[in-house]
């Protein structure tokens, strides 16, 4: 196949600012949905575990339904700034404010009902804004390029910035018990700094990248037809197995960090060091050999490595060596999730364009969230429930728990992720169709088509 990558040139500055904005909204989301908010309300404010679980499950209903609607609205937006950028620019201010206010109790009397109301409202407001911003940022690379080589450049920069999005929540969650126990006001000040910095970076970033103008001129399908055609796309349905699993696993792994390190007395620096070595190895693995293997084989291998190393930690995680192995594999999986999974999603949307003649990234991102967002709620709801099955006592520190409860930490934390990854490997191997010379030719044709459409659009704008 003739290499068409020189056709698509994406500026490094655009990649950097897009990666920085994505890093900021992901950092905020990883803190809120990765366990910190649940820990804050249960262990610091005294909310009942059952109330927290109910809050997450009820919130999950709205959380799933709003995404296809926003994706559809986003596809039909005809702003002079584009279809995506307005939501990033103006949503950044609001989401930073909601994030900062979520860590201060709002009501005059602390009751379980008041805690439930605040947690639900915080989640509702934060996620509505997060959906608008994160969806727009997630699909911007697919607006900016078609070939996987050009998209890979964007994904690599996003992956590097993603290390910061992972690092801040990882350290915060590992130290959460100490931070809230010693100085709650210092914790709130830290949240203020993180929220303000994130909002500012997201806002400024929107002046450094742009969308293809022709896409906003396309007439989109009506909402229900658009929804149904997404759900009929076989490659999209197969993709959802890994997308749902990665969403669940990222949330679940964040949820259990502080419990794991405290329960077994393992120094998190060893584990985090192994994870970042795994990420560096994963970057090389997915960019070099992965470019030869292509997306399908790379995703399957990622699932097997990620799931296998987590299984080691599930069985033997009370030992530091097993923890190091698990975190090294998690690093490889994180790199694959940040690099290969978005490339797979881009291919899915390209296959849709081949069939429908439209770019419908927003609708696909919305339906993806409809299916995957409940994974965040399930992970937050099921973790404390599974801990309860093993007799975990939230009134006692993690290190003081019974041996059965400590085993429960590992089971609640890792059992479901291991199962999901193995199921994904089997499903993708058997059913994913976007592979081979015919698909490579389709990608080349789409890159040329986008060039032609953009040139025609720019000529029309100059003629007006």
Render 423-462 in DSSP notation, one character per residue.
Answer: HHHHHHHHH----SHHHHHHHHHHHHHHHHHHHHHHHHHH
* Angle formed at CA 416 by CA 152 and CA 103, multiple of 5 degrees: 75
Q: Which residues contact 91 (CB under 8 A, 6 or more apart)?
A: 129, 132, 133, 202
Q: How far apart are CA 364 and CA 135, in angstroms?
A: 10
pTM: 0.71
Domain ranges of the chain: 11-463
Report d(CA 256, CA 258) in Å as an integer.
6
CB 349 within 8 A of CB 57: no
Local structure of 3: helix, strand or coil: coil
At 240, list the tokens: 């959802």
Q: Residues 11-463: name the CATH superfamily.
A: MFS general substrate transporter like domains (1.20.1250.20)
Q: In three state form, how does the secondary structure of 267-316 look?
A: CHHHHHHHHHHHHHHHHHHHHCHHHHHHHHHHHHHHHHHHHHHHHHHHHH
Q: What is the pLDDT of residues 114-153, one digit of tens each?
A: 999 999 999 989 988 998 898 888 888 877 777 777 788 8
Give per-residue burial for 65-78: e unless 16+ CB within 10 Å, then b. ebbbebbbbbbbbe
The conformation of residue 175, written as its DSSP 8-state character, comes to: T
Q: What is the 3-state secondary structure (H, E, C) of 39-71?
A: HHHHHHCCCCHHHHHHHHHHHHHHHHHHHHHHH
CB 225 within 8 A of CB 107: no
Q: What is the pLDDT, as a whole number, of residue 222? A: 80
CB proximity list for 167: less than 8 A, separation 6 or greater: none
Distance CA 214, CA 299 (A): 32
| Structure token digits, residue 437 | 């010379």
User: What whole-number distance in Å separates Cα of residue 53 and Cα of residue 331?
Assistant: 29
Count the helices and strands in the chain (H runs, E runs): 16, 0
Which parts of the chain have pLDDT scores under 70? 1-8, 64, 212-218, 457-458, 460-464
Compute the half-sphere exposure of residue 122: CA atoms within 13 Å on the CB side of its CA: 28
Pick from 144, 138, 168: nearest CA to 12: 144
CA distance 210 to 383: 41
CB distance 71 to 136 below 8 Å:
no
């Amino acid at each position: 196949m003739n290499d068409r990558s020189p056709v698509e040139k994406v500026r490094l500055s655009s990649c950097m600012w897009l990666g920085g904005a994505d890093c900021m909204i992901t950092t905020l989301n990883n803190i809120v949905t990765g366990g910190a908010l649940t820990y804050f309300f249960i262990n610091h404010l005294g909310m009942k575990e059952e109330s927290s679980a109910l809050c997450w499950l009820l919130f999950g209903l709205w959380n799933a339904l709003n995404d296809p609607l926003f994706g559809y609205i986003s596809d039909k937006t005809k702003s002079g700034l584009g279809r995506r950028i307005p939501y990033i620019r103006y949503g950044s201010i609001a989401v930073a404010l909601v994030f900062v206010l979520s860590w201060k109790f709002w009501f005059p009397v602390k009751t379980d009902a008041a805690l439930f109301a605040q947690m639900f409202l915080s989640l509702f407001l934060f996620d509505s804004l997060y959906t608008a911003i994160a969806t727009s940022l997630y699909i911007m690379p697919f607006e900016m390029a078609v070939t996987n080589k050009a998209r890979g450049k964007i994904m690599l920069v996003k992956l590097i910035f993603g290390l910061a999005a992972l690092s801040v929540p990882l350290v915060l969650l590992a130290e959460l018990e100490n931070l809230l126990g010693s100085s709650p006001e210092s914790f709130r000040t830290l949240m203020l700094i993180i929220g303000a910095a994130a909002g500012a970076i997201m806002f400024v970033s929107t002046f450094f990248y742009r969308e293809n103008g022709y896409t906003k001129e396309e007439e989109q399908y009506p909402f229900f037809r658009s929804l149904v055609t997404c759900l009929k796309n076989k490659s999209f349905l197969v993709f959802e197995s890994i997308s749902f699993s990665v969403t669940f696993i990222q949330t679940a792994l964040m949820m259990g960090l502080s419990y794991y390190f405290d329960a077994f007395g393992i120094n998190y620096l060893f584990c985090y060091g192994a994870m970042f070595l795994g990420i560096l190895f994963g970057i090389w693995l997915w960019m070099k050999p992965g470019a030869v293997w292509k997306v399908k084989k790379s995703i399957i291998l990622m699932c097997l490595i990620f799931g296998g190393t987590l299984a080691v930690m599930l069985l033997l995680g009370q030992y530091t060596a097993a923890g190091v192995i698990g975190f090294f594999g998690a690093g490889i999986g994180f790199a694959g999730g940040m690099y290969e999974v978005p490339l797979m999603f881009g291919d899915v949307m390209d296959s849709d364009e081949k069939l429908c003649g439209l770019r419908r990234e927003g609708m696909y991102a919305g339906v993806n969230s409809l299916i995957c967002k409940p994974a965040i709620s399930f992970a937050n709801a099921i973790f404390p429930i599974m801990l309860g099955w093993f007799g975990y006592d939230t009134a006692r520190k993690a290190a003081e728990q019974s041996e059965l409860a400590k085993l429960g930490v590992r089971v609640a934390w890792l059992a479901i992720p291991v199962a999901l990854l193995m199921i994904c490997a089997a499903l993708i191997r058997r059913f994913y169709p976007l592979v081979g010379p015919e698909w490579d030719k389709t990608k080349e044709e789409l890159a040329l088509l986008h060039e032609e459409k953009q040139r025609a659009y720019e000529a029309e704008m100059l003629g007006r």
